[in-house]
Structures are given as structure tokens and as C-alpha cells.
Amino acid sequence: MPFRTALTEMFALRHPIALAPMGGVAGGELAAAVSNAGGLGLIGAGGGDREWLGPQLAIAKDKARAPWGVGFLCWALELDRLKWVLDEYQPRAVVLSFGDPSPFVEAVRAAGAKVLVQVTDLDEARRAGDVGADVVIAQGGEAGGHGGGRSTLTIVPTVVDLVHPTPVLAAGGIADGRGLAAALTLGAAGALIGTRFEATHEALLAPEEAKAIVAARGDDTSRNRVFDIARQSPWPNRYTARMLRNQFFDSWQDREDELRTDTTARTDYLDAVDHGDPAALAVWAGEAVDLISSIDYAADVLTRISAEADAAFGRAAAQRVRGD
Ligand SMILES: Cc1cc2nc3c(=O)[nH]c(=O)nc-3n(C[C@H](O)[C@H](O)[C@H](O)COP(=O)(O)O)c2cc1C
């Protein structure tokens, strides 16, 4: 049975699922594949680096036969970059994550696209409501990549109540139909899914990274700042990133302040990355790796999750005791 939610109605989707705009991983091929299979495909544009982004946007524009969009990091975005994307490529949806979305909302609206704001705590959720987001994405700390420390199970219904009647998507830890059914039950209009789509043929991930995701367990992930410190990333300190633990992480865990002042260790780390040393390889992924056992085509992931959610609702309903 297909789902009809505020998200599917807004973008004429078959499935209440959006691809997470994973920086450098969700490119034009993956976004187009998700949109063509009935979800909402979103390119992960980061701060909007033209050299990488231009070709990815061109692929999506060429291949997608349904609405697609693009996601930016607010702290790294400049208005001119956003306007270039809106003018040249006409995405139908723009996700604004991690930072203040207010400088960008008007430009997105003026271009006729929908504004989706991803939030990691209740203050950000309140601000998303204040700027008039069309959709608020409530992200729990189970998520892969950068984010905050809340749990999906509590942040989603709380944000649903806080921003009502604005539709909310659940993000963080959703990789199968049981997760999607749970998100809809919590009051969400759908799920924004990242880690599960990393293990697809269309994702821009090195084969060894995709294999590591399939092999890993949620227990092997950690939310930390170690890699942002090691690579002297300008990410705001309040956001941590969830990734697969590796040897470098294990040796610096709980010593973040020390790493900040150890220039030799940081230089060694960058050298190791340059040489492709697996001990230094940072694979951003969430606890949902527990639920991933194969690398698939994005369209198959989408239809399977939707069908599983339908079955999960059936099983849950069968457990209800009906009184006379
Ligand atoms: C590899 C990776 C890169 C990500 N990059 C971004 C990004 O650039 N911008 C963004 O808004 N969110 C980014 N995210 C977070 C996602 O938007 C989303 O919140 C998360 O993937 C949902 O949780 P899940 O991974 O458990 O599905 C990234 C996530 C991953 C796994």
C-alpha cells in the first residue's frame, strides 16, 4: 500500500523518503536515481564548491525526471553560490543544515523552491519554525556524519509538536522499513536517509569505504571531533561527526585537546591520508550500519524500505487487542 504524507504530496513522491544531502557522497547520479524511483533525491553540496558541484548538478538536471534538490551547510555557504545554483539548475528543494538558515531562505523562496531546514536540537527547531521552513528535518545523534547529541526517538515527536503544522522528517538511524514505520508513527511525514544510501552503486564512495560500511556494526561507530581537529576543519565546534572508528581514532579518543596542540600528529595524519593509509581513513557513517548487509541499487533500497514499512504496520496492527 503506498503512503500519502505531507512530504509525498509536496513533491508528488511514491515513497515518503528523502536521500540525505551527504557532502561529496550524494552526487547527481544518486540524487537522480532516488528521484526517478519515487523518493526525493538531494545532492550534498557542502558549502557549494563550484568545481565539484557544477557537474553533479548538471547530471541531476539531465537525468532526473522528477523533483530533486540540493543541501548546503549554512556555516560554509555564501548567498552568491546559492543564487548561482538556483538560477542555473532550478532545484525544487533546498536543504539548509548546520547554522543559521535565515540569510538564505528568501532566495530559495524567490526561486520557487521549497525550504527544508535540518535541525539537531530544539533551539534550532524553533528557529526553523521562525524562518518559515516548509519542512523541518529532525536529526538524531544516531545519524552518520555531522550532527548533535539528541536521540531520534525523542527529538522527532518533540519537533513535530514544536513546529506543528509544518511537516517534519526524521533523520538518524533509519535504514529499513521498521525505521520508516517508526518515524511515521512518531508523527513524521517521512524519513531522510543517509548511511543506507552510502552502500549503493550510485553513491560517490570508494569501494573499500562501501565495503567497510557493510562489514561494520553500530558499535564500531563513534561521534567525535577527532578528525575535524586532525584535518583542521572549520566545522563549528558544537557539531560532532559520527564515523567508523579506526586506528587513528582509537589512539586519540578522549585526547582531543592534546591533538589540538600537537602539530606533528596533525601533519602525520594528513600525510597518512595522502598516502591512503587505511588506519587514517575516515568513513562517515551512522549506527544504521547494523542494518546494512549489501551494496544495492538506490531504487531497490527505496522500494524495499517502503514495502517493509507497510509490512511493519501490518504486524503492529495485528498485535492490537480489540475490545468489544
Ligand atoms: C557521509 C555523510 C555525509 C553527510 N554530509 C552531510 C552534509 O554535507 N550536509 C547535511 O546536511 N547533512 C549531511 N549528513 C547528515 C545527513 O543529512 C543525515 O542527517 C544523516 O545521514 C541521517 O542519518 P543516517 O545516516 O543514520 O541515515 C551526512 C551524513 C553522512 C552519512
> Domains, the chain, ranges and CATH?
6-203+294-318 (3.20.20.70), 207-274 (no CATH)
In angstroms, the CA 117 to CA 136 distance is: 5
Task: Check if 120 has its Cβ closer than 6 Å to any atom of ligand 1.
Answer: no
Report whether residue 142 contacts ligand 1, using a CB cutoff of 6 Å.
Answer: yes
Indicate if ligand 1 lies below 6 Å from the C-beta of 23: yes
Q: Residue 268 corresponds to which cell in the numbers above? A: 602525520
- Sheet containing 168-171: which strands, arranged edge to edge? 17-19, 190-193, 168-171, 135-139, 114-119, 93-97, 68-73, 41-44
Pocket test for ligand 1, best of 17, 19, 22 (most atoms within 8 A of CB): 22
Mutation probe of ligand 1 site: the residue of 19, 146, 192 with most atoms within 8 A of C-beta: 146
pLDDT tens string 184-207: 999 999 999 999 999 999 999 999
Separation between Cα atoms, residue 163 and residue 125, nearest integer Å: 7
Please count the other Cβ atoms lying within 10 Å of the Cβ belonging to residue 125.
Answer: 26
Quickly count: other Cβ atoms within 10 Å of residue 323's Cβ: 4
Is residue 173 within 8 Å of 287, Cβ to Cβ?
yes
- How many Cα atoms occupy the beta-carbon half-sphere of 5 within 13 Å? 28
- 112-119: long-range contacts at Cβ-Cβ below 8 A with a sequence spacing of 24 or more? 113/69, 113/86, 114/10, 114/11, 114/69, 116/18, 116/69, 116/71, 116/169, 118/71, 118/171, 118/192, 119/159
| 4 CB-near residues (< 8 Å, 6+ apart) | none
Alpha carbon nearest to ligand 1 atom 16, residue: 20
The model's pTM is 0.97
What is the distance between the alpha carbons of residues 217 and 12, in angstroms, rounded to a whole number? 35
**At which residue does the C-alpha cell 575535524 appear?**
228
**Cβ of residue 152 lying under 6 Å from some atom of ligand 1:** no
Give yes or no for residue 16 CB within 6 A of ligand 1.
no
- Angle subtended by helix axes 152-163 and 177-185, to nearest 10: 40
Taking residue 232's Cβ as centre, other Cβ atoms within 10 Å add up to: 11
Report whether residue 171 contacts ligand 1, using a CB cutoff of 6 Å.
Answer: yes
Angle at 53 between CA 52 and CA 54, to 5 degrees: 100
Tell me the sheet residues that pair with 41.
68
Could you list the pLDDT tens digit for every one of the 324 residues in the chain? 689 999 999 999 999 999 999 999 999 999 999 999 999 999 999 999 999 999 999 999 999 999 999 999 999 999 999 999 999 999 999 999 999 999 999 999 999 999 999 999 999 999 999 999 999 999 999 999 999 999 999 999 999 999 999 999 999 999 999 999 999 999 999 999 999 999 999 999 999 999 999 999 999 999 999 999 999 999 999 999 999 999 999 999 999 999 999 999 999 999 998 998 888 889 999 999 999 999 999 999 999 999 999 999 999 999 998 765
**74 alpha carbon – ligand 1 mean position (Å):** 14
